[in-house]
Amino acid sequence: MSGSELKITAHAIIRNGKILRNSETIFESSDTGSDFLREAYEEGLKIDYPKFYKMDALGKSGIIATEVLLQDFDFGKYKPEEAGIVLSNKNSSIEADVNYFETARSFPSPALFVYTLPNIVIGEISIRYKFKGENAFFVSDQFDADWLHFYVSDLIHHQKIKACICGWVESVDENFDTCLFLVEKEQKENAVNFTAENLKEIYGLKV
Amino acid sequence: MNKDELMLQLKEQIIKQLKLEGKTPADIGDHDPLFVEGLGLDSIDALELIVLLQQEYNIKLNNAEQGQEVFRSVSTMAEFILEKQTQYV
């Protein structure tokens, strides 16, 4: 199966104080940073998941984007091990690293320590949404659509996953740049081909 | 500080330390289990409670088994703290 037979069946973007689902703005706020995520969680999306408050900004951003991404998702369609997650960013878990380092001067915080790896956001998504297939987190200078396309296509072709959340999840100085894609084999209304060009085009949307 | 005052203080500290947003001290019963049922805390929260004891009350737990007993509820935490404070007087 080539990547072009796969479809991007949904996408979600968090950037510049806005949350978009399939290119449409579904939430907007003048709040910034963690206040923005909190407002989106409580008032915009009305998510009920108390563990959210304990997460670092990367985790919160990933959870909110996934919640938006999977709004119409049929959770009975795939077994947990048939759904994978492949994410990437530039700055790894730098915010959590710095926050943990600050506490380490007196009493190191276990709750902050557990977020000092970028792939923890994958774990948070996996736990909440039962995407328990293959997963990976890559660190690269910029959004690498070609690599993402190659890797996810290969996973679906070889590793028996049938769906994958993939994309970019970044949090630096409380600025968020998150763009997630849902990739599936099945055709859906408004789905586009899973190609590197389409990944670039969606990621590059002006928000 | 008597036990009731200490339990109220503990509840406020637990809410802050464990980031239990939306919870107030009134939501936490004195004898409610802190883990699994009740507040639903997890193993990372247990570590944070150990830090809380050390940071706020200068008390170190000696072993994991002791933690299971001490962290059963706010009431057992308060009794443990009062007992330790009495020992040092």
**What's the rounded Cα separation, in Å, for the pair B40 and B54?**
22
**Could you tell me the pLDDT band of residue B26, with boundaries at 50, 70 and 90?**
very high
Single-letter code of the amino acid located at A176? F
Backbone CA torsion sign across B32, B37, B39, B41: positive
- pLDDT recorded at residue B40: 79
pLDDT at A4: 57
Tell me the C-alpha to C-alpha distance, in Å, between residue A157 and each of A72, A164, B45: 25, 12, 40
What pLDDT is stored for residue B63 in this prediction?
A: 80
Task: Break chain A into its structural domains and give their ranges.
Answer: 3-203
Query: Distance between CA B57 and CA A136 in Å, rounded?
Result: 42
Rounded average pLDDT over B9-38: 91
Q: What is the CATH classification number for the domain harbouring B29? A: 1.10.1200.10
Ranges of chain A with pLDDT below 50 = 1-3
User: Which residue would you say has higher pLDDT here, A181 or B89?
Assistant: A181
Judged by a CB distance cut-off of 8 A, whether residue B60 touches chain A is no
Contact A119, A69 (CB under 8 A): no
Distance CA A129, CA A144 (A): 25
Q: Which domain holds residue B41?
A: 3-88
Residues of chain A contacting residue B19, judged by C-beta atoms under 8 Å apart: 53-54, 111
CB-count exposure of residue B64 (10 Å: 0-12, 13-18, 19+):
exposed
Nearest to A112 by CA among A88, A91, A93: A93
- Interval A151-182: pLDDT, tens: 999 999 997 899 999 999 999 988 999 999 99
Asked if residue A171 lies in contact with residue A90, where contact means CB atoms within 8 angstroms, the answer is: no
Please tell me the total count of domains within chain B.
1
Model pLDDT, residue A3 = 46
Report how many Cβ contacts below 8 Å link chain A to chain B: 27
How far is it, in rounded angstroms, from Cα A25 to Cα A184? 23
A56, A112 contact by CB (below 8 A): yes
CATH fold for domain A3-203: Peroxisomal Thiolase; Chain A, domain 1 (3.40.47)
With an 8 Å Cβ cutoff, are A50 and B22 in contact?
A: yes
Task: Flag whether residue A175 sits within 8 Å of chain B, measured between CB atoms.
Answer: no
Per-residue pLDDT for B42 more than 90?
A: no
- The per-residue pLDDT for B39 is 80
Contact A86, A152 (CB under 8 A): yes
Contact A107 B54 (CB under 8 A): yes
